[in-house]
Structure 1
Amino acid sequence: MTVYNGPVFEMAAKQFEVIADYLSIPEDERGRLLMPKRAVAVSCPIHRDDGTTAVFEGYRVQHHLTLGPTKGGTRFAASVDLGEVAALAIWMSWKCALVGLPYGGAKGGISVDPSSLSRRELEALSRRYMQEMIPFVGPHTDVMAPDMGTNEQIMAWFMDTYSMYQGQTVAEIVTGKPVSAGGTLGRREATGRGVAHLVSRAADELRMRLNGATAAVQGFGNVGSITALELHNKGVKVVAVSDHTGALHRPAGLDIPRLVEHAASRGSLEGYSKEHGLDAEDLLSLPCDVLVPAAVERVIDAKLASNLRCRILAEGANGPTTPEADQVLERRREEIFLIPDILCNSGGVVVSYFEWVQDLQRLFWEEEEVMRREYQVLDRAFDQVSARSKRDNVFNRTAAMAIGVERVRGAKETRGLFP
């Protein structure tokens, strides 16, 4: 029995079992590698604007602290539950280990639709959540970051709340802050830029020209919109995009710079055009060279995996592909080149690490330096995954997760079990 349940946690556990079997990890070691070190559930009461009091459930899961403090985003969404948060923390552990960061994985969230809150209510809830987390987080214990439903402003409120309790500014308690409050240049764009950079690496591997290639992007939040814009800048025709309000499709290519401006001003794609409307469910099965699921978990099941018509599948979201779909994609790996999520979207945590380092040192880099270092880390990880996949003739996800799990396992073995 476990306090963690639900389809997302079950998916993370199934993925781990595949890797544990591949690495021949003894059964008695598996629980220590998979199960989170700590989970916190809190109640977050706030005064609503109408004078009533509302209570929201908040969570934080820290997977392991073997390699350093834990690191992970904080999600504000109605779907948030403890199992989902735990799964995301586990994936973050393998991701950080894969790209060589001195972190364990963490994740947090509040079960709330942020669009239902006024700005004052959102600030109150953000500050209350951080206040409840203060005994469990810190710059050398657990460093928060934004995720779905949160942004730079919420990170600034988190940082300010923590700093008020410490009696001094502690910028390094969160990453993804505004530059004016100790954030780093290039952090907001880091994940999307990383996805597009790794698509370029995959295209090189396949000897495929990106200039004139086609792409479809599911999800047009921070990750999806920046990915679409970066691909557009590389000469890719982005033929379809979608968000929670609908989807757009134009075979000749959409005006991505204009779409990004529209989404930034309106908060979504809604109202952009009726002419290019598409059923959102059809986007993932469109014929294209590059498919980027950049929304939520578990959107590609086995049936859809059989019907994908892309050459490169770049997982901008966390866990978009189910284990059953992975079995299909493994059989199709000569047709579809997978860039697995723990590699594909790792640019965000890489630049978050750079922000943390800069805050600790009180020494800040130019954006060109941030991007150069980000791409250097991503290139190294891509090369390692590619080499492992070819050496052992395994699926790219297997190769990526195996590298991450091996590094965490090696660190735990070296440090031993205390007491």
Structure 2
Amino acid sequence: MFELAKQRLASVFKYIDVDEEVIERLSVAKRSIIASIPVRMDNGELKIFTGYRVQYDDTRGPTKGGIRYHPRVNLDEVTSLSFWMTVKCAVAGLPFGGAKGGVMVNPKELSRLELERLSRGYIRAFADIIGETRDIPAPDVYTNSTIMGWMADEYSVISRRQVPSVITGKPVHLGGSEGRESATGQGALHALNEYARRQGCQKSDTTIAVQGFGNVGYHFARLAKKEGYRIVALSDSQGAIYSSSGLNVEDVYTYKQQESKLASVYCDGTVCNMLDYETITNEELLTLDVDVLVLGALENQVSQLNAHQIKAKTILEIANGPVTPQADEVLEANGVNVIPDVLANSGGVIVSYFEWVQNRSGLYWEKAEVKAKLQKVMQKESNIIYDLALRHQCSLRTAAYIHGIERLAGAIDERGNRKYFKKQ
């Protein structure tokens, strides 16, 4: 997976001239650590979980990146994600490098007390390499604000002082930022809005299918529906639903919370009535004839095996790495534009940066101010990337990487390179 991630760089260097030392620096992670995390289970059994933390590059500032809990977490995946975070932070113009962490575990099999023990154990395992000016974790797949609150508390216990800025994505009452919960979905919507505006698209005529109805997918779909887009399909790990007339996103979410499954419903209070819809598979959702396909699940969902079946005109990546490099080639040849993850899902890390700033300054902003600041950053960076794509006649992904790599290259070069030192 990491080798696939690095393939993105090859096309970028066709358009910009960077020193070979930049390429060398960005080809390897600065630090990778694997730790065993012992957890006493509720039945008295001791289980050992494997945890990871990769700090990819800190040229532009302390590293930043989420922690995911998933059975398939491994070092290769975490390294890839930390690489993408490095580019993403540069694309957003944040004073951060990239990092990522994870634990190989199925969190659905743990009780809440076991989940807390695991989360605190993760911090104990990696406390020596994280810190508010060194590496700042955040939530990712199957982690949330509650887990971040436990982790921040554990770090404070270890360091014997309150350090709220060591973790972002915390509950608001524990130093979290207003607007953080919906930030990734909100940021993705800003990126789509700018793209749609430039393409002359009408929101009411734009159909959207969303793969992944977790926290990010839900907030994106909810906000997009509120702005007038037509959400026609939603999916989770169990399957997908489709209705050509559109789905009531809030009602579908309410029903899912109650029944643990998706259905097209209309809810009046706690009573939900079924509406007409089709049950389809996740694979079928990917091939729907819609204007925008939103990928909000896991990596490598669109590959060379199914890329030729994609009928959507535009793909919006709000998951990390859902389209492989080989699939990109097929999609580009077929005229499908991909709004890439390093831009589209950067809203989360942008508001995490806001949270970090608020924690360190002790001054906290209201939700409206956070939303306005997020919109300003997303609109600015989106339009820079869209302009770069037009100027270079390249894909949006390549344009995003050009933008991010130029900033990274500038920071690396300004510390000195071979050409500089040879001039002595």
Q: TM-score range by the shorter chain?
A: over 0.9
Specify the alignment match of 2:303 in structure 1: 301
Specify the alignment match of 1:178 in structure 2: 171
Amino acid aligned to 1:205: R
Deviations 1:74-109 (A, max 9, x none): 000001000100000000111110110000000000
Deviations 1:137-189 (A, max 9, x none): 00000001000010001000000000011112111011100001000110000
Specify the alignment match of 1:263 in structure 2: 256
- Report if aligned partners of 2:82, 2:100 keep a CA contact under 8 Å in 1: yes
Deviations 1:94-140 (A, max 9, x none): 11101100000000000000001111110000000001111000000
Specify the alignment match of 1:410 in structure 2: 410
Structure 2 residue aligned with 1:74, among 58, 67, 72?
A: 67
Amino acid aligned to 1:339: I
- Report if aligned partners of 1:239, 1:254 keep a CA contact under 8 Å in 2: yes
Specify the alignment match of 2:318 in structure 1: 316
Instruction: Tell me the CA shift for residue 27 of structure 1.
Output: 5.0
Instruction: Tell me the CA shift for residue 271 of structure 1.
Output: 11
Amino acid aligned to 1:101: L
Structure 1 residue aligned with 2:160, among 158, 167, 188?
A: 167
Give the 3-state SS of the residue equivalent to 2:228 in structure 1: coil
Instruction: Tell me the CA shift for residue 270 of structure 1.
Output: 7.9
Give the 3-state SS of the residue equivalent to 1:106 in structure 2: strand
Listed as ranges, the matches of 1:13-412 within 5 Å are 13-25=6-18, 29-265=22-258, 269=262, 276-332=278-334, 335-412=335-412
Cα distance in 2 between the residues matched to 1:43 and 1:405: 34
Computed over aligned residues only, the root mean square deviation of the Cα atoms, in angstroms, reads 1.9
- Report if aligned partners of 2:194, 2:383 keep a CA contact under 8 Å in 1: no
Give the 3-state SS of the residue equivalent to 2:250 in structure 1: helix
Specify the alignment match of 1:3 in structure 2: none
- Report if aligned partners of 1:202, 1:312 keep a CA contact under 8 Å in 2: no
Give the 3-state SS of the residue equivalent to 1:211 in structure 2: helix
Cα distance in 2 between the residues matched to 1:39 and 1:373: 33
Specify the alignment match of 2:270 in structure 1: none
Amino acid aligned to 2:332: E
Give the 3-state SS of the residue equivalent to 1:123 in structure 2: helix
Task: Report the identity percentage.
Answer: 40
Q: What's the TM-score, normalizing by structure 1?
A: 0.94
- Report if aligned partners of 2:233, 2:285 keep a CA contact under 8 Å in 1: yes
Distance verdict in 2 for CA 1:35–1:388, change over 3 Å: same
- Report if aligned partners of 2:248, 2:264 keep a CA contact under 8 Å in 1: no
Distance verdict in 2 for CA 1:268–1:15, change over 3 Å: farther
Distance verdict in 2 for CA 1:84–1:138, change over 3 Å: same
Distance verdict in 2 for CA 1:96–1:282, change over 3 Å: same
Q: How many residues align?
A: 410
Deviations 1:207-255 (A, max 9, x none): 0101132110000011111111111111222111101011111111112
Deviations 1:16-35 (A, max 9, x none): 23323443546554221121
Amino acid aligned to 1:396: L
Amino acid aligned to 2:143: T
Cα distance in 2 between the residues matched to 1:154 and 1:122: 8
Q: What's the TM-score, normalizing by structure 2?
A: 0.93
Give the 3-state SS of the residue equivalent to 2:66 in structure 1: strand
- Report if aligned partners of 1:245, 1:270 keep a CA contact under 8 Å in 2: no
Amino acid aligned to 1:183: G
- Report if aligned partners of 2:299, 2:321 keep a CA contact under 8 Å in 1: yes
Amino acid aligned to 1:314: L
Give the 3-state SS of the residue equivalent to 1:302 in structure 2: coil
Instruction: Tell me the CA shift for residue 202 of structure 1.
Output: 1.1
Give the 3-state SS of the residue equivalent to 1:71 in structure 2: strand
Deviations 1:389-415 (A, max 9, x none): 111111110010111112111101101
Deviations 1:286-332 (A, max 9, x none): 01111101000111112432222222211111101100011122223
Name stretches of at least 5 consecutive residues in structure 1 with no aligned partner. Answer: 1-7
Cα distance in 1 between the residues matched to 2:163 and 2:262: 36
Specify the alignment match of 2:271 in structure 1: none
Cα distance in 2 between the residues matched to 1:33 and 1:361: 32
Specify the alignment match of 1:5 in structure 2: none
Cα distance in 2 between the residues matched to 1:257 and 1:198: 22
Give the 3-state SS of the residue equivalent to 1:115 in structure 2: helix
Cα distance in 2 between the residues matched to 1:403 and 1:267: 41
